[in-house]
Amino acid sequence: MHSPDHNQSTLGLHLADEAATACFGRHLAPLLHAGMVVWLDGDLGAGKTTLVRSLLRACGHVGPVKSPTYTLVEIYVISRIYWYHFDFYRFNFPEEFVDAGLGEYFRDDAVCLVEWPEKAADHVPSPDIIVRFHFVENGRTLEFVACSQEGQKCLNVLKSGWPGAAD
Ligand code: ADP
Ligand code: MG
């Protein structure tokens, strides 16, 4: 786990449609590595699962990518790296994270992608990256927040390579 960096920096993007969200996922996928934690923030239908799907596909996963809303976690193993996709939307109490033993998934050989992390507040490990989605008239806006040095490295690469990237 990487400790949070207080000098957070961000990148803002406009994603006009689902294809743009998927395109962002393809750019982000090669920048993530085992040990990283990504929090996905945004209302229902904002595009969190869509982004995870594109990340996994970009890494070579060919099967379905289902929302873990009911299962809490969906597990993928791609090239010996574990990808854990969590969704805590249905938690009534943050302590359910502890009761379910989910802390054991946050390991150095795993990338953890977390929808609704605030529902597991104070228990879910802190992120390297927060990806925030907002609804706008034309699609979505995405805010990429680097919360650790590892997250900052990703942000630096994205900033240099994404057309129209705004600070
Ligand atoms: P969440 O996991 O945040 O609840 P989903 O990814 O399951 O949301 O659903 C997002 C919905 O919005 C899907 O129907 C998808 O096609 C659509 N979508 C994804 N990205 C965009 C975008 N940039 N603009 C418009 N629609 C989008
Ligand atoms: Mg979802």
The answer to the question of residue 166 being in a domain is no
CA of 48 to the centre of ligand 2 (A): 5
Residue ID of nearest Cα to ligand 1 atom 18: 18
CATH code (residue 142): 3.40.50.300
The answer to the question of residue 21 being in a domain is yes
What's the rounded Cα separation, in Å, for the pair 39 and 17? 21
Report whether pLDDT(2) > 60: no
The answer to the question of residue 28 being in a domain is yes
Number of the ligand closest to the Cα of 132 = 1
Could you tell me if 69 and 89 are in contact, meaning their C-beta atoms sit under 8 angstroms apart? Answer: yes
The answer to the question of residue 103 being in a domain is yes
What are the tens digits of pLDDT across the range 132-143? Answer: 999 999 999 999
The answer to the question of residue 4 being in a domain is no
User: Domain tally for the chain?
Assistant: 1
**27: three-class secondary structure by DSSP:** helix
Least confident of 3-7, 18-22, 74-78: 3-7
Pairing of strands 81-87, 73-78: antiparallel
Structural domain boundaries, residue 153? 10-161
The answer to the question of residue 116 being in a domain is yes
Give the global pTM.
Answer: 0.94
Report whether pLDDT(162) > 90: no
Asked if residue 44 has its Cβ within 6 Å of ligand 1, the reply is yes
The answer to the question of residue 3 being in a domain is no
What's the rounded Cα separation, in Å, for the pair 34 and 137? 36
CA of 67 to the centre of ligand 2 (A): 5
What does the CA dihedral 133, 64, 58, 16 come to, rounded to 10 degrees?
-30
Residue ID of nearest Cα to ligand 1 atom 22: 17
Q: What is the mean pLDDT of the chain?
A: 94
The answer to the question of residue 167 being in a domain is no
